[in-house]
Structure 1
Amino acid sequence: MQELLKSLLVAALMLPVAVFAQQPPSLELPDDADIRIIVDISGSMKANDPDNLRQPAVRLLARMLPEGAGAGVWTFGQYVNMLVPHGEVTSDWRELAIDRSGQINSVALRTNLGEALRVASDPYLSGGEELDNTDFILLTDGKVDISDDAGTNQQEREEILGSLLAELTDRGATIHTVALSEEADLALLEALASETGGSYSLARSAEALTLAFLKALNTAVPQQQIPIEGDSFTVDDGVEEFTALIFRADDEPAATRELGLVSPTGEESTAESVADGMRWARETEYDLITVTDPAAGQWRINGELGEGSRVTVVSDLRMVVSPIPPTFTADDPVSVRVAFFEGDQKIDNADFLGVIDVRLTLTSDDGRSGTKTLSGDQPPEDGVYSDDIARLPDSGEYELDIVADGQTFSRRFTAVTRFVAPEGEETPVAAEPVDTLPEPEPEPEPVPEAPEQPASDAGPIDISQVEESEPEPAANAEESAVVPLWMMAAAGGVGLLVVAGAVFLMMRRRKSGDEEAPPVVQPEEEEIPVAEPDPEPEADPEQEEEVPEDDIPVADTTIDEPEPEPEPEPEPKKEQEPESEDAEPEEDEEFGLEDFDLSEFDDLPDTGDEKGILDDEDESDDGEDDGKKDR
């Protein structure tokens, strides 16, 4: 007994420790980032990047890197070259990176990817072995190529994925990879990203390269943004500087592009006419406009905004979001935590937080989206807004967008994550209607109805038209095939109800017999409920084993007339069609419950109707029932 009490005491003491260990770490301002950009300049780039769009892409990163971060740029082919020395990001460093980006070319003979990672991760650059706050952005369009011997190249590839990757992972490095064209070693690049917790992107064309670089930078160094609503955005008094990145629309010619930025006072600036305190950089794919000490109020953009356009800000008032992993599963969900900081202090003032509306939106790669509000009626006491994304209805890439809207300011955070469903999980869901219904004809009915299902909760948020809604039509289709059996069996009286109940249980256990047993003799029983005196147990051998002897005459009488059987067979099918149609509106009314199995609950209304029918029959067949009781 004493040992049991000791065990309970130890468990009670350890429980708070275990609970505390499971809690996510508190939100803090991130340290200064260290970004190392590695660019492939092998000869194959002549074909995959004929316009050398790597140059404006690198210039974009140089301009958008936060002040005070560490950064460097390397190029590689057969050899590795430090294009821009690693150092602190300042205005001088930006100018040097922008100037030297013009040296990026496609003249190298080979693709020495492993050596590029070794040189860029040299401990000398960091002043030590640790790379906990270091992110590598690696661009390549080829495979490991250091020799004419295929065996040597394969050995180098295995070493990259083996000892080199293990060393970088142990040192805390994060590698974001960008593959330019499908000719690259996609498996290698995906492994480098996934093993180190980085992002992976496939830019199928050089035109998509800038967006892929921007995605990697935003994952490595999430920057403060303010939302663009239509063609306008609102700057608050706390903004010290904003940078508007406006991508060119796909159908807009770069040479004749017209773009203007209108201040709250109505003054319009263009690339040819720049106002004081403004810097305007025009590239083939984008315009980058930086305004220092901007006027508070609504700014407007005159021109078309392409995909990826955004406005980043430098401000003491910051919205900090917990790191969003590049991939997640149902077993390892995303924990979304949002807090606001002024300077280096977290804000927990209820008056300030009470006027902020915080919304989280997820958008799938095919454009479907849903939104959830994180801010409730009362602000969180600790100032942290929390939610978990446990799972999504489909595997794939999703854009996560968090917008905080206050009375005098707004902030925005964006990230990209990929949901990975367990292998084989989605396939059985789609196959459920086929496995449930043995007859192939009802199978096409629920399939076209699935896209018409309304949106429902997918994990913590609503994702419009993305839910897995096939299982519910399968259950309803099965019920529509069962209801006529009960209605036909009810006409036979209480004795035949036992037979129908036994057949119903057999149907639920053996779906292969659903379509054969019920419709054979039941329709006849409505017209011949009185034929009790002819006991011939040979007619229905399957029912003979479970039905009591005094109920056998009813089954025998129906078997004696095989000719009318073809006539009643279409009758149950006609009865099934309107009932299955009635079931379809019920699916619309059940929206949002696709994740629950409603097959058992759908039987309840039908059972209630059948009891009413049975009660009527009992009253009309009192004589027959009394006769059976006397026996």
Structure 2
Amino acid sequence: MDLNLSGFLRICIHFFFAALTAFCICTSGEAEPSKRFSSSIDAVIIMDASGSLRITDPEGVRYKAAESFVSRLREGDRVAVVEFAEAARIIVPLTEISQKSQREISGAIYRVGDDGEYTDFLSAMELARELLEKEGREDSQKMVVLISDGKMDPHPATASPEKRISELYAQEVPLYQQANILVYTVAFSDLADKDLLREIAEATGGEGIYSPTSDELMNSIREVFSSLRASLLHRKDNIEKKFYVDDGVSEAVFVLAREEDGDLVLITPGGEVISKYDIRDDVRWYRVPKFEIITVTDPEEGDWTVSGLPSPESFATVLTHLKVIAEWESGRITANVPVLLKASFFEGRKPVALPEFTEIVKYVYQIIPTDKVSTPVQEGELNDYGKDGDNVENDGIFSSEVVIKSPGSYKLLLMAKSPTFTKKVEKNFEVLPPVVHLSIKKNLAESRHSEGKPHHKRGPAFIVSLDPEAASLRKRELLFEVTERETGKVYEYEVPHVNPKAAQYSVSTSIIDEEGDFEVRAVVTGRTRLRKIVRLK
């Protein structure tokens, strides 16, 4: 039997690529739905293998660029790799992306040589186009990424540089245009014909990049494919859902439904396209099979567009004034008496009950004394599972029972942590001394020992003592709150015929007619002088 002298005791009684796609954008009923077009990609990476790379690319920038591109493709996309010097050859056929194939493709990329004598990227572009025209899927977006450090320099037996450039402009570029194949070029050396590469890309609807260093190259790749995403997303048959974000908002949280095989993107008021693959300091993105949560720090004022929702009826919202509110269920917090701590989200003054948050948000708290320098006296986690102190499952209110052992001044620090944001709240509060004390005596004498008379005893009893605050209550009632430890089931046993003027009571433990392992708490109810009904433990 464990004893607690404060009114409670225990007894025993027996980077970028998924958004290089075209999406169907939904609204909440404001726009008419239209057909979704393909989100798959068929791409060819063309890699320079000329000998000059030993000098111009000693750090292997071209390998990093190509590998970065491949790592951001998703299942359903396909990619091939072509290397070229004086001639071109396919080293990886058009291959569907999977975890296994990504590793194999990356390995092949790092085996691209650097011993070629010439640079003839026209031959590589011809080979890439023929491959996409022959094996590319009709409904896919086709594209070529050309990575080179040099100028057009074909084998003299083939043609002069001028002739190959003329053929490129007059013959090959028009064929790319007819086939709707986008070309993106990456030049990473001062020796490269940057103007030629840029003009090829722009003529097909792509973009040319020049980046002399590895870091600049990676940043430029993210930028250029953001441009590609924008060109795909702004087709006339798209459905768009827009949210206006006011000036001065410090954080916008987008909560969006999604399909398991689909991708969502955000388009800023300025037209920049953001996906979960983009690495940005101001955007944090969390994705699970049925929804995504995106947090944007210091968002730009204006209309933000969401693209890629499953249907016009799909859930989508943005929260711009999200905060967490914490409160104690009881206005009085008494030492050694459990009290329910509750927390929930609010958007301004309106409560937010989103099942999506229940799945990903973790509420943790600390209770720290403020009347002395101290570490937390208690730490824990709230839940919304309908157990361990929480009343209703998935109602958006997270809660847990808290017991603070000592009276004093305290501070509650509560944090709601999600993968994309953290909200904090602090509250100072007082813990009061208990006013109802419970103890137990094993045996009580019924009569004093006297001459020739035996000493009579009765069984164990609860001793309930009241502080003046509890003893001053009118129309006083006494009951025992009994919690079965194994099941958590709570029973109440009311004590009959309570003396309204007594400050101490003795009640036989036989009032509890169940067998088992219990927690027992004495509870006094009554009216104050102001006729307020209170319940003290």
Same structural fold, with TM-score higher than 0.5 when normalized by the shorter chain: no
Q: Which has the higher contact order (CA 8 A, sep 6+)?
A: 2
What TM-score results when the alignment is normalised by the length of structure 1?
0.34
Q: Counting strand residues as a fraction of each chain, which structure ranks higher?
A: 2
- Greater helix fraction, Structure 1 or Structure 2: 1
Which structure would you say has the larger Rg? 2
What is the TM-score normalised by the length of structure 2? 0.40
